[in-house]
Each structure stands twice: as C-alpha cells, then as structure tokens.
C-alpha cells in the first residue's frame, strides 16, 4: 500500500555516475551523434568538402613516408619479398577499410572509430579507442615529419650543394640534438590548417597531385634499372621476415581512414565517405606495390639499410644524372609535407569530437567563427607533434603508431558487427560484403600484425594505455556529458 503522506524520495543530482561499470554501459545513440555533428564551442564546422576532396585527404594522409622512408626499414627485414609485405599490409588495411566504409556511411561524424565505439561498445571502450587514435594520428605526424628532413637534405644537396648540419637535422640518439626541419614542416602545416577546411583541402589536393606524379615518374625511370638477380632469393629471411616487413609497412597505410574524420565537413557524407575511403586505399596500394617492385629490382635489398632517401638514390643511379634524383627528392618533400598536413587535420577533428563529449578539455572544441576551424585545437596539437618530431627518432615512433592503429582498427571491426546486430534498421549507404566473415578476418589480421611487433613496442603501447586510463578516470569519467546529464535525466523521470 502506498503511503501518500510520506516524503518523496530524495534524488542525488549532484554526483554523476563515475564507476567503471557506468562508463562501460554509457552509449551515445547514433541519432544523437549525427544531430550534434559540426557543433563546437562558439561556432560550427562547415560542410564544404566534395567526394574528390575527401579522397585526396585520405591519400594525402597515407601516401608519403611509408614509401619514401619506411620502405628502407622494411626491405632489410623482408628482402625482395617486401612487395609481398606491402600486399599483406594492404589486405590487413582492406578488411578494416570495409568496416570503416560501412560505419562512415551510417554514422557520418568527425570522431572516426572513437565515435563508432561510443555508439556500440560504451564510453570506456570509446575512450580507449580515442586514446589509440591520438597515438595513431598525433604521433604519426611526428614520425612523418622526421622523415621529411632526410629528403630536404637530399634536395638541398642536389640544388645548392649544401646540407643542414646533423646537429640540427637529427633527433637525440641519432647524432643530433634537434630535428629542426621536422619541427618546421609541422608548424607550416599548422599555419595552413588554421585557414579552414575548404582552403586546406585545396592545398592538400595540389600536394597530392605532385606526389602521385613523382611516384609515377620513379616507376617509369626505375623500371629501366631493374636487374633480375636482385629478386633472388625472393624471401631470404623466410616467412617471419615477410611478416616483420608487413608489420613495419602497415605504418604506410595509416591515414586511409582520414576521410572519416571529416564526416562533419563533407557535403554528402553518407554517400561520399565510403567511396573516398575505398578509392584512396585502392590508389595507394597499387602505387606502393609498383614502387616497391621497381625499387628492390633496381637496388639490392641489402643496400637499403645503409641508404637514406633510397628512391632518390635509385633515380640518380639508373638515369646517370643527379637531376632526376633531385626531382624525386623535391617530390618527396612535397609528398611527406602533405602527409603531415592531412594527418594533423585528422587528429584535430578527433580531439574536437572527444572534447565535445567532455572527455578532454573544452578548448579542443572551440571553433573560430570566421574560418570555421578549431584554431586553438590546431595550435596545441601542432606544438605537441612538433616537439615529438624534433626530439624522437623515426623508427620508435613508426612502430608505436602502428600498434595503436591496429588496436583501433580491431575495434572498428567489432563495432560494425555490434551495430549490425543492435541496429539492423539503420540506413546504410555501404555494407561490408560476406558479413560477418570479413570483419572477423579484419580483427584477426589486426591481432596478427600486432603480435608481429617487438616487445619494446608493446611496452611503449602498454605505458600509453596506462597513462590514458589514468587520465580518463581522473578527468574524463566525471566530465563526460553523458555522465553529467544522467543524474538530471534521472531526477526528471522521478518527478514525473
């Protein structure tokens, strides 16, 4: 029997639910993610990007350091079979790209896999995914910038006969004190990004066109220098060497998902995002395989380890003229700069989404009313990445980036399965073929690639994850918008 004279129950509206269990169960509905799209502090992102520009963003973020710099690290591991390593890494990326394409077409927002995880697996998993994306995008900017200096020196040597002193062109541990060129290229990208998405996309498209032409030129000239003997034995270090090469080269495919970070600035995201993701991956993979095949045919694989700017060296040796090596170096300077530019763009948009959800400080979601760009976000991220680029060697950065990316990709494959089961009614402009086999294969491929990385990389990754969880439980879990709104909604329902 109800006691109508009793006092109403007391509802605590001051303390949000902050337990780990609460973080696991808090999910953001797809409709709300889409509704909030583009909205930031003091302004909103502008929808101005076409399908072609989205494709250029993904190619810009992907095609660069992997072929111009990291190829030199992978060839000594896999031998002439480095071409096969590229194919394996590309197939691993393809499985995840299919899942990205489906989710990008049904959840067209800026947060990429972070937002997909928020809608399917809960806030805590979303945070872990977002933290991995910070590692993927933010640190890969620094890793790419480090490689930029090598080709800049090649260009300066071929044109002016000078090089930047090692003390200010190499990070600590590699003979120098600071990599000044790496810092400079990050700061240049920062200046352009502050002009807004539309202007940034135009600049990026020009740089992407330059690097595609440069690689086609290398394929044409390098083909003339191929020696059949350089392909034998095909796999001198066996299947383990091919796997190790593929794990290293997976870094080359980081960035194909960059289009998904532009979901709130695309004119027609549901249609254009899946197309941009798949088209960019196809173009990049074909170019990688052709360039790698020509490179190991024109230069013995053992020589890659001791050769900086290997593609420029091959151009010079095959043609007999330093001019072509200079042309290749110039193209590489533009190519690697465009990767820095596009990946930095993606990082700022992911932090924009996380900030809007309250998981990182609100400053990252502030939008400049005039340019439509999150300027404070761009400056903070650029300074952070520039500092890493100036002082940390490339190899360590590349491997750490790969493991964070693989983890995030694995979560995307899980998310597409969950969303199919929980929201079969959700409109989808692209569907993964052979579901659920394809996303399961994608998850397994990511796991295999992760375990091909060395123990030192796992230690770095473990430390990064611990730091991320500490930050979340000390900051994000209490400031999450869903956590703050939950008590108010509970009080409102009780009053009713």
Domain boundaries, the chain: 50-478
Q: Report mean pLDDT in 10-residue bins for the chain, 496 residues.
A: 39 46 75 74 73 90 78 87 90 89 87 88 91 81 77 83 84 78 90 82 89 92 91 89 85 81 84 91 91 92 78 85 84 86 87 90 86 87 88 67 84 93 89 92 88 83 91 90 67 47
Residue 436: asked if its preceding bond is cis (omega within 30°), the reply is yes
pTM of the full structure? 0.81
Q: What is the CATH number of domain 50-478?
A: 1.20.1740.10
- Measured in degrees and rounded to the nearest 5, phi and psi for residue 267 equal -70, -40
Residue 179: asked if its preceding bond is cis (omega within 30°), the reply is no
How distant is the alpha carbon of residue 179 from its chain centre? 22
The pairs formed by 330-333 with CB atoms below 8 angstroms and a separation of 24 or more are 330/155, 330/214, 331/210, 331/211, 331/213, 331/214, 331/215, 331/217, 332/68, 332/151, 332/154, 332/211, 332/214, 333/148, 333/151, 333/152, 333/155
Q: How far apart are CA 97 and CA 163, in angstroms?
A: 40
Report DSSP state, residue 306.
G
Q: How high is the pLDDT of residue 19?
A: 58
Dihedral of alpha carbons 115, 28, 33, 382, sign:
negative
Which residues does 202 contact at the CB level (< 8 Å), separation at least 6? 53
Given a contact cutoff of 8 angstroms between Cβ atoms, the answer to whether 309 and 188 are in contact is no
Structure tokens at 246: 């593929």
Nearest to 328 by CA among 157, 75, 80: 157
The radius of gyration of the chain's CA atoms, rounded to the nearest angstrom, is 23
Q: How far apart are CA 256 and CA 287, in angstroms?
A: 14
Which residues does 288 contact at the CB level (< 8 Å), separation at least 6? 66, 67, 86, 90, 252
Given a contact cutoff of 8 angstroms between Cβ atoms, the answer to whether 411 and 117 are in contact is yes
Report DSSP state, residue 40.
E
């Amino acid at each position: 029997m109800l006691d109508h004279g009793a006092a109403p129950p007391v509802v605590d509206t001051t303390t949000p639910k902050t337990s780990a269990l609460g973080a696991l169960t808090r999910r953001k509905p797809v409709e709300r993610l889409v509704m909030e799209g583009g909205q930031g502090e003091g302004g909103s992102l502008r929808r101005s990007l076409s399908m072609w520009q989205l494709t250029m963003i993904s190619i810009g973020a992907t095609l660069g350091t992997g072929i111009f710099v990291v190829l030199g690290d992978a060839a000594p591991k896999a031998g002439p079979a480095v071409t096969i390593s590229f194919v394996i890494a590309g197939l691993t990326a393809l499985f995840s790209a299919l899942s990205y394409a489906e989710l990008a077409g049904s959840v067209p927002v800026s947060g990429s896999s972070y937002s997909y995880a928020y809608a399917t697996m809960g806030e805590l998993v979303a945070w872990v995914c977002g933290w991995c994306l910070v590692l993927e995008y933010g640190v890969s900017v620094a890793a790419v910038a480090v490689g930029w200096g090598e080709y800049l020196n090649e260009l300066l040597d071929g044109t002016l006969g000078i090089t930047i002193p090692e003390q200010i062109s190499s990070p600590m541990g590699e003979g120098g004190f600071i990599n000044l060129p790496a810092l400079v290229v990050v700061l240049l990208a920062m200046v352009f990004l502050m002009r807004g998405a539309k202007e940034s996309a135009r600049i990026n498209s020009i740089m992407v066109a330059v690097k595609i032409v440069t690689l086609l030129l290398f394929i044409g000239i390098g083909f003339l220098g191929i020696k059949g003997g350089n392909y034998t034995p095909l796999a001198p270090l066996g299947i383990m060497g091919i796997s190790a090469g593929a794990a290293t080269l997976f870094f080359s495919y980081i960035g194909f998902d960059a289009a998904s970070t532009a979901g709130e600035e695309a004119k027609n995201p549901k249609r254009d995002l899946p197309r941009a993701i798949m088209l960019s991956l196809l173009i990049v993979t074909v170019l990688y395989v052709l360039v790698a095949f020509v490179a190991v045919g024109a230069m013995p694989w053992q020589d890659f380890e001791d050769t900086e700017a290997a593609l420029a060296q091959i151009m010079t040796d095959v043609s007999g003229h330093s001019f072509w090596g200079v042309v290749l170096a110039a193209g590489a300077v533009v190519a690697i700069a465009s990767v820095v530019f596009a990946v930095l763009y993606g990082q700022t948009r992911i932090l924009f989404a996380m900030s809007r959800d309250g998981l990182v400080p609100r400053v990252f979601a502030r939008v400049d009313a005039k340019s439509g760009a999150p300027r404070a976000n761009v400056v903070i991220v650029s300074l952070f990445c520039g500092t890493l680029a100036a002082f940390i060697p490339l190899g360590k950065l590349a491997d750490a980036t790969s493991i964070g990316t693989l983890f995030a990709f694995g979560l995307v494959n899980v998310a597409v399965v969950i969303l199919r089961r929980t929201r079969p009614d959700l409109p989808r402009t692209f569907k993964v073929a052979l579901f659920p086999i394809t996303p399961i294969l994608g998850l397994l491929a990511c796991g295999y690639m992760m375990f091909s990385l060395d123990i030192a990389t796992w230690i770095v990754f473990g430390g990064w994850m611990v730091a991320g969880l500490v930050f979340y439980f000390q900051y994000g879990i209490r400031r999450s918008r869903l956590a703050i709104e939950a008590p108010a909604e509970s009080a409102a329902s009780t009053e009713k």
